[in-house]
Structure 1
């Protein structure tokens, strides 16, 4: 079940059903499997419980390093990077996401690479670097098209490209 109801066109953040997210968080409880940890991180992030999200994200990265696949580790690190982003640590988030994007693309994992570029673009967007954001969103779009991604993923990326282009244009007018 998806808890995402859409994306804010100005912030590119997920619009979620908070009560549904809280219910799911209660259902997961203290489960320690990697998928449960990753889901908890995301739910905590969208509920703006960033301190707890950071703690759980670090645990997920540790678990993925010790017992997961390489893809698991990339997913955990990318999610950890999104928590850094939401906490305003943009340089740290980009430093976490960049090697993940490069490795996923180098390994021929277009859906993970697209996720990485999409989220690195969101970090740049939040940091006000709209040209870098637009470049990452366009790369994510290409990779998602290549991977045959579902329409909702393509639409969220197109929304992000449009938002970055609007912000870049507005910033160039303001200068």
Structure 2
């Protein structure tokens, strides 16, 4: 079940029902499995509880490193980077997402690479580098199409491409 109701067309942030997200957070409780940790990180992030999300995302990376697969570790690192991005730590998020995207690309893991490129695009969008953001979103779209991603993922990427193009046009007119 998706907790995402849509995406803000200007910030590209997920729009969620906070009551449902809080309810899910309560359901998960203190479970320590990697999937539960990752879900808790995401829920805390979208609920804007960023300090808690950061601590838990660091823990999820450690758990994935010790007990998960390489794919698990990449997912945990990407999610950790998204928390950094929302906290405004754009350089650190960009660096981590670049490393994750390159590793996933090198392994041929299109779905994970698309996840990394999508979020690196959002990081660059937040940093007002709209050309680079657009390039990342287009790469994410290609990879998502290649991996047979669901329509909602394709739509979110198309929305991001449109937003970066609008912002790029606005910034070029303003300069």
**TM-score w.r.t. length of structure 2:** 0.99
Distance 1:144 1:40 in 2: 24
Q: Where does residue 98 of structure 1 map in the other structure?
A: 98
The alpha carbon displacement at 1:124 in A equals 0.3
Deviation readout 1:108-154 (Å, 9 max, x if unpaired): 10000000000000000011110110000000000011111111110
Q: Where does residue 65 of structure 1 map in the other structure?
A: 65
Gaps spanning 5+ residues in structure 1: where?
none
The alpha carbon displacement at 1:58 in A equals 0.3
2:159 is paired with a residue whose SS is helix
Gaps spanning 5+ residues in structure 2: where?
none
The alpha carbon displacement at 1:23 in A equals 0.3
Q: Where does residue 17 of structure 2 map in the other structure?
A: 17
Distance 2:48 2:121 in 1: 20
The alpha carbon displacement at 1:26 in A equals 0.4
1:6 is paired with a residue whose SS is strand
- In the TM superposition, structure 1's runs of 4+ consecutive aligned residues that sit over 2 Å from their partners are none
Q: Where does residue 3 of structure 1 map in the other structure?
A: 3
The alpha carbon displacement at 1:40 in A equals 0.2
Q: Where does residue 174 of structure 2 map in the other structure?
A: 174
Aligned residue runs from structure 1 range 62-141, under 5 A:
62-141=62-141
Distance 1:48 1:73 in 2: 23
Q: Where does residue 31 of structure 1 map in the other structure?
A: 31
Distance 2:151 2:36 in 1: 26
1:15 is paired with a residue whose SS is strand
Q: How many residues align?
A: 175
Deviation readout 1:73-105 (Å, 9 max, x if unpaired): 000000000000010000000011111001101
- For the aligned residue pairs, the C-alpha RMSD in angstroms reads 0.4
